[in-house]
Structure 1
Amino acid sequence: MTVATRLARIRRFIGLSQKEMGKRVGVSGTTWQNYELENAAPNAHVLARLSGEGFDINWVLTGEGQMRASQAGQTERDRAAPDPGARKMAGFAELAPLELDRERLVSSGKHVLVPRYTVRAAARDDGRTIAVEDVALLDTLTFHRDFIAHVLKADPAALIAVEAPDDTMQPTFAAGDILLADGSAPRMRGSGIYVFAGENALIVKRLQVKLDGSITVSSDNADLYPPEEIERSALDKVKIIGRVIWRGGRL
């Protein structure tokens, strides 16, 4: 794993686009993109900003140790304070921090290799949701780089693939269909179909923001699965994994 790969991993861990990450550490989005492409190296100012975000600079530069700095020197107040950047998914593994050699996966000439995750799940008592028990890298899916850039208009390093967990979104897609999710959008950015985790369940639904700040969660298979409302006060229970931008499956 290279410095560029570790910087990309930090960005995905926080859940920002390259432009947003650059702004966060005081450089342009293009400069940050060059870091991830190994066309430039972060200067002392950027490294200091990353350290201030809680990342171990020795790990960034050498790969030794842990990504997050030790909490040994923190106060009790520091340890108790929430980390607004980290994507903590209730009952669901953090996809971005998995040990993947993203440099090897993404860089393959004219093709992009997108990691596909398998989710071991069990039906919950209500019979309508899936309780996530385990998540692991299964394999990779190959896409032409031009398709990713010009059709999906996505950052290859931010894409993840998962299987649709149930039939709630039929006829748009069926259980078992392959979904590509844009992990650069770990927060809602407009209405759309999202992969998210809530109350130990992997869920793929349409999310729509209402004027009062609440969210309508709806299924395309509406006859069997009526819409639900998530009040604004409960939005912290919804952990966005990514926005669905492509599906593949049998006709």
Structure 2
Amino acid sequence: MDIPTSISAPVRRFSPQVVDVEQQNRSGKAMETSKREFPVRDVSREVADRAERLRQAVREAGGNRAVAAKSGVPVGTIDNYVAGRDMRASNVARLAEATSVSIEWLLTGNGPRNGRSEVLLPPATLEASRAPPGYVSIPRYEAHASAGSGAINPTDRVIEQITVTEEYIRRVLGRQPKHMALLEALGDSMAPTIESGDILMIDVSVLTIRFSSVYVIRLAEQLLVKRLQLMFNGTIKIISDNPLYGEETVDPRKDQLDVVGEVVWSGGKIRVRAAG
């Protein structure tokens, strides 16, 4: 058998890659210029600061479980928020109320830290009638909540006491009787939810916005009944249920808006619909 004296292998050719240093430098400078001209907004610090404010408020309010029980926000969700996850707008209002801090402070760190604790309606000046066992007397104020463009009320005098079963307030409405007050609505901007002349029962212990509920508010010295929606940027959308009226957005950091109470019940006379 012949033994080969050489082994021929395929020859691999290597072509050196030519690098254009000048082009790389130009590209690098272009990227740096692009970064300067189109900076990417870094929101991590804003979210981290908000989480730190929430962590402090929750700790002072008794901890995550206590705040969860009071606010209705699950413990796991609060844990995520405290760890730095961004908060839903609806939960911001719940957590602010449960921890007794203002929504503005919790969201932005601006304004007073503590939420407003005083009730805008004054104490009842009319001596309450002695309610029979199982009943409570609720003061009705002379003030009118405008369901229109707004009406200035010169007085908040109590004109009568209306007796209601305590069970209805506690079990059906889920409220404390001592926090109830009655006002009359004027105007049609909240129709058909609230008609002009309806009596409103409001919970004056609710001083912050929760969900998309109906509230009696004071805005620029006007007493109004409107549906309010808290937006994530801290502004508040004022909504009229009557589609003939437009919406309005206010910034509580600039506009003086105070929540008098949340409307929990309304009622009035039977209205006859026009024929046709």
Shorter chain as denominator, the TM-score bin is 0.5 to 0.7
Residue 220 (structure 1) aligned with residue 244 (structure 2): no
Aligned to 2:139: 115
Say whether 1:176 aligns with 2:197.
yes
- Preserved contact between residue 204 and residue 261 of structure 2 (Cα < 8 Å): yes
Q: Does 1:244 align with 2:263?
A: yes
**Residue 159 of structure 1 pairs with residue 183 of structure 2:** no
Q: Note if contact 1:165-1:203 (Cα within 8 Å) is conserved in structure 2.
A: no
Tell me whether 1:234 sits opposite 2:234 in the alignment: no
Aligned pair 1:185/2:203, yes or no? Answer: no
Task: Give the whole-Å Cα distance in 1 for the aligned partners of 2:214 and 2:232.
Answer: 19
Higher normalized contact order (CA 8 Å, seq sep 6+, divided by chain length): 1
Give the % identical residues. 30
Where does structure 1 differ by over 3 angstroms across 4 or more consecutive aligned residues?
Answer: 81-88, 96-101, 104-108
Shift of 1:129: 1.9
Q: Distance in 2 between matches of 1:214 and 1:159?
A: 27
> Is residue 188 of structure 2 the alignment partner of residue 203 of structure 1?
no
> Aligned Cα RMSD in Å?
3.0
Structure 1: runs of 5 or more not aligned: 1-22, 29-80, 89-93
CA separation in 2, counterparts of 1:203 and 1:170?
A: 14
Answer whether contact 2:125 2:157 (CA < 8 A) is retained: no
2:164 paired residue number: 143
More strand by share: 1
CA offset at residue 149 of structure 1?
0.9
CA contact (8 A) 2:214 2:262 kept: yes
* Unaligned stretches of 5+ residues in structure 2: 1-60, 67-111, 271-276
CA contact (8 A) 2:126 2:160 kept: no
* Contact kept? 1:87, 1:239, Cα under 8 Å: no
Contact 1:195-1:244 within 8 A present in 2 as well? yes
Pair 181,120 (structure 1): closer, same or farther in 2 beyond 3 Å = closer
User: Which one has the largest radius of gyration?
Assistant: 2
Report the TM-score, using the length of structure 2 for normalisation: 0.52
Give the structure 1 partner of residue 7 of structure 2: none
Instruction: Kindly tell me the number of residue pairs found equivalent between the two proteins.
Output: 161
